[in-house]
Structure 1
Amino acid sequence: MIAPGQARLPALRAVMEGGPLALPEDWRAVVEASAAALAARVAGGEALYGVNTGFGKLASTRIPGDQLAQLQLNLLRSHAAGTGPLLPRPVVRLILALKALSLARGASGVRPVVVEALLALLAADVLPAIPARGSVGASGDLAPLAHLSLVLIGEGEAFVGDAVLPGAEALARAGLAPLALGPKEGLALLNGTQVSTALALAALFAAEDLLATSLLAGAMSVDAARGSDTPFDARIHELRGQPGQIRVAAALRALLAGSQIRESHREGDPRVQDPYSLRCQPQVAGACLDLLAHAATVLEREANAVTDNPLVVGAEVLSGGNFHAEPVAFAADAMALALAELGAISERRIALLTDPVLSGLPAFLVREGGLNSGFMIAQVTAAALTAENRALAAPRSVDSLPTSANQEDHVSMATGAALRLHDMADNLAGILSVELLAAAQGLEFHRPLQSAPAIEAAHGLVRGVAAAWEADRVMAPDIAAVKALVERGRFARLVEWS
């Protein structure tokens, strides 16, 4: 049960991953009151934006009463102008949930049947086919939400299982009737930040798992390179006071606790300090953790917000700009920095492990070097993904372009900002997969000594899908197999947070 305005991120993640969404029964009363207040204003002959007027630059055009239903249909059809690949189904589930929760707060002037129609699609797993591109993140996510809304009225297309079917057929298979739109209901459905917010939330959930995975990979690399755990001493981090740094250092200490490899070189090691990619993990990953925590706060607020326009507040109809997704754009841009930096420091650890001068391990982590190239090109792959993420990390929120004949003259670009995070997360998963393979290989040069329990468990996960590297073979399947584990959160679950 999720109350409108009170959704928490774990509950939303559960819905995204296939769980049900149920609302407390008391939502209907406030929604009915909002719809009644709007109907009274329309009956009084008042000009209300998007209810009995045109949209955007056409807001001064008055629409006759007998054409109000057609106005909403025309809005959905004309605004369904998206392009590109279809959004992933889990993201669409989250969009449906966010839109239902927003409308159920009773400030949008829609009837309860509209909320019920969204919940019915979610319950039946009839998921609108939404092209990924076409929103600038202001006036809401108009094009993608129009594609979603078409399915409600029996048009557009929807996923039913793995098939994409015409909207009318998809509804019929689920036993659902098309929705007949009332005044403002089309506008309320497609005006809002639910697409950009859902994309950013899905990326946040992935980023949180990837950050935890990066700590496990980093700890494994420390032991593979016979690095020191002194830089993770709590006293160092308490003197700085950065909360993410303190938490990351604690997680790294826990990951390395009990390592025989660490104990074997605690005395007599000629190295005074490790390279930054090992030593400064708390400072780098901790800063990333703080960025993700801030983004989570912003996105949780946005997930609970009412972001369409105009809004019905009591008996008044107020025009404003809650559809402007600047908070989401800023959160997405911050998350991009975190994803890029986690990949950058991981790639440097891979380079360290493959360099015999820095690591003390065989060149490129393979015996009989020369005959075998080992991890030489795997490191190059990681470097390529790192470079791509650096380019993708450029901020999108500052790249406004005016739309709608300059009526909508400043936009957030939040949807593109959030969409690019998914490519970045995919790249980071690839980089971390190479590091996990390299670090697992490095550990084996220290046998029979064992690393710490969580690191050995991670080593076991790697070796469950990729054999040790004794002689050159095709590496791409190994990277793909480990990446699949990374994306399923198998390594992230081995990290204990204090």
Structure 2
Amino acid sequence: MEHQGVPDATRGVAVAGRALSPADLDDVAHGRARPVVDGAALASLGAVHAAMEAARAAGAVYGATTGVGANKDVGVGEEQGEHPRAHGLRLLRSHAASLGPVEDEPTTRAALVVRLNQLLAGAHAGLGAGISPPVLGALAEAVRSGALPTMHRFGGIGTSDLAPLAELGLTLVGERPWRTGSVDPVPLGPADALPLISSHALTLATASLALVRVRQLLLAGLGVSALSFLALRGNGQAWAPRVHAARPHLRQPQVAAALSALVAGGPPPARLQDPFALRTVPQVLAPAFAAADALADVLALEASTPGENPLVGADGVFHHGQFHAASLATALDTLRATTFGVLTLSAARLALLLRPEHTGLRAFLAAGPRGSSGLMIGEYVVQDVLAELRPGTAPMTAGTVSISLGLEEHASFATQGARALRHTAELAPLVLAVEALAAVRALRSAPDRLTPGAAALFAVFDEVLDRDARDAPIGPDVQRVVERVPQLALLLRLEG
């Protein structure tokens, strides 16, 4: 086990077109770190812009000299007697749907940082969007100063966050007011509109912030599992590192070793073989940790590479399908499904904790007069939350679509997958919190079952929970546990 450091509010996070981790993005989004824009990378993008201008002058460039979607073969711009800026402004205005909830400020801030970082990646790849220096500079200034546009949720299906990013574009050119702060409006270049909206920046921001919460949840789940194991006098043979080294699925040996260390020296086991809720914790937690790692890798790659359509470089224009977020959608689907398995196993442990034949304590861990209900309602709450989350475990990648006169006939729905992961991150702590409350109550009644390895985890919750266990609303205690989930996660870390 290793203690994780608390983010330094004075710490700078480089926005340079290089690797940008979900954890760094989360720190910037919530004001625990400040973005530091790489001026050299910003300046070097002038060459990519010059390549775009040359390509536009030489022939057809999708979205710059043509319409978009089913209008891909329709010429636009100066040859049709339009002002060079007119088509781009029409594109932004038509795509800024302005529908749905307004995204919160941390998610919006993270989206701007991602969008700038993706554009700066063109400086290193020699292949980029070709956005004009004034628009690029205005976006960089918004990131530096913390200015935020208003971005509505609806209008993306995993083939770029078209509608909300069009709102960003209109804000940069002065047609929309800034939500927070301000940046002087800039003129839109002839080839700026499509590159601004050809990105999954908002989806990546949503997924990244949710992933940080889910990782905290999984670590907390590891700790809560250990507390329940001790309260239930589990048999440590199932978690023996030697067993898991013999079939080393990804992350499983580390999970088993961490769990085994926490419960070492615990009470003699109450059973030769435990129920699945205890026996299979490493097998269920490990795929979720592995899925979180895989999603982090996809997010870091997507946030630090150019993916606009088209891309331009010294060797010409490339029209492509990099806007299709199948890898991201698949990683999101996997993490939601595996996290749900962690939650259902938590619910199963809660059921054991409320049964006297497994704990040797009163039914429902009740106190007070006979017939007291104790934590009986906790199971109802947990099953309600699980029912709420269950539809979100369905793979978003199974969706089908045919839009833009049938020209665009496939989508990843990564955007919806990211929102579903955020919903999981918001509600899932309630499930673990009810289990943790039950485990702490049980260990308070049988303190001899607590081990030195788990004492610090127990203390995180014990110090804030009501000591009067007689029947009363459990909501305040559950909320206190939810608030302590990040603190518990800080005490735990998987090696490797």
**TM-score, normalising length from structure 1?**
0.90
Give the Å deviation of 1:492.
0.5
Distance 1:396 1:475, change over 3 A: same
> Once the two structures are superposed, what CA deviation does each residue of 1:112-166 show, in whole Å capped at 9, x if it has no partner?
333332222222222222222221111x110121122222122335442xxxxxx
1:286 paired to 2:286: yes
Q: Which residue does 2:10 correspond to in 1?
A: none
Give the Å deviation of 1:344.
0.7
8 Å CA contact 2:117–2:304 kept in 1: the answer is yes
Q: How far apart, in 1, do the equivalents of 2:372 and 2:147 lie? A: 51
Which consecutive segments of 4 or more residues in structure 1 shift more than 4 A? none
Q: Which residue does 2:38 correspond to in 1?
A: 24
Q: How far apart, in 1, do the equivalents of 2:369 and 2:175 lie? A: 61
Give the Å deviation of 1:281.
0.6
Written as runs of structure 1 = structure 2, the 5 A alignment for 1:240-319 is: 240-258=247-265, 262-263=266-267, 265=268, 269=270, 271-319=271-319
Q: How far apart, in 2, do the equivalents of 1:369 and 1:425 lie? A: 38
- Corresponding letter in the other structure for 1:68: P
8 Å CA contact 2:65–2:76 kept in 1: the answer is yes
Q: Which residue does 1:353 correspond to in 2?
A: 353
Q: Secondary structure at the match of 1:21?
A: strand
Distance 1:28 1:126, change over 3 A: closer
Q: Which residue does 1:430 correspond to in 2?
A: 430
Distance 1:159 1:274, change over 3 A: farther
Q: Which runs of 5+ in 2 are unaligned?
A: 1-13, 123-127
Q: How far apart, in 2, do the equivalents of 1:329 and 1:312 lie? A: 26
Distance 1:369 1:221, change over 3 A: farther
- Corresponding letter in the other structure for 1:77: R
Q: How far apart, in 2, do the equivalents of 1:305 and 1:88 lie? A: 25
8 Å CA contact 2:385–2:431 kept in 1: the answer is yes
Deviates more, 1:120-129 or 1:221-230: 120-129
- Corresponding letter in the other structure for 2:36: A
8 Å CA contact 1:366–1:469 kept in 2: the answer is no
Q: How far apart, in 2, do the equivalents of 1:64 and 1:495 lie? A: 58
Q: Which residue does 2:105 correspond to in 1?
A: 89
Q: Which runs of 5+ in 1 are unaligned?
A: 161-169
Distance 1:394 1:485, change over 3 A: same
1:481 paired to 2:444: no
8 Å CA contact 2:19–2:304 kept in 1: the answer is yes
Written as runs of structure 1 = structure 2, the 5 A alignment for 1:41-60 is: 41-44=55-58, 46-60=59-73
Q: Which residue does 1:154 correspond to in 2?
A: 174
- Corresponding letter in the other structure for 2:131: V
1:213 paired to 2:229: no
Number of positions where the alignment pairs a residue of Structure 1 with one of Structure 2: 473
Give the Å deviation of 1:17.
2.8
Q: Which residue does 1:455 correspond to in 2?
A: 454
8 Å CA contact 2:15–2:116 kept in 1: the answer is no
Q: Which residue does 2:118 correspond to in 1?
A: 102
Give the Å deviation of 1:29.
4.7
Q: Which residue does 1:167 correspond to in 2?
A: none
Give the Å deviation of 1:95.
0.9
Give the Å deviation of 1:76.
1.3
Q: How far apart, in 1, do the equivalents of 2:281 and 2:294 lie? A: 20
> Once the two structures are superposed, what CA deviation does each residue of 1:308-350 show, in whole Å capped at 9, x if it has no partner?
1111022411111111111111111111112211111111111
8 Å CA contact 2:232–2:353 kept in 1: the answer is yes
- Corresponding letter in the other structure for 1:152: L
Percent identity (aligned):
33
Q: How far apart, in 2, do the equivalents of 1:296 and 1:222 lie? A: 30
Q: How far apart, in 2, do the equivalents of 1:202 and 1:157 lie? A: 26
Q: How far apart, in 2, do the equivalents of 1:358 and 1:71 lie? A: 70
Q: How far apart, in 2, do the equivalents of 1:110 and 1:219 lie? A: 53
Give the Å deviation of 1:191.
0.9
Q: Which residue does 1:166 correspond to in 2?
A: none
Cα RMSD for the two superposed structures: 1.9
> Once the two structures are superposed, what CA deviation does each residue of 1:94-125 show, in whole Å capped at 9, x if it has no partner?
21111101111331011233333222222222
8 Å CA contact 1:31–1:105 kept in 2: the answer is no
**TM-score, normalising length from structure 2?**
0.91
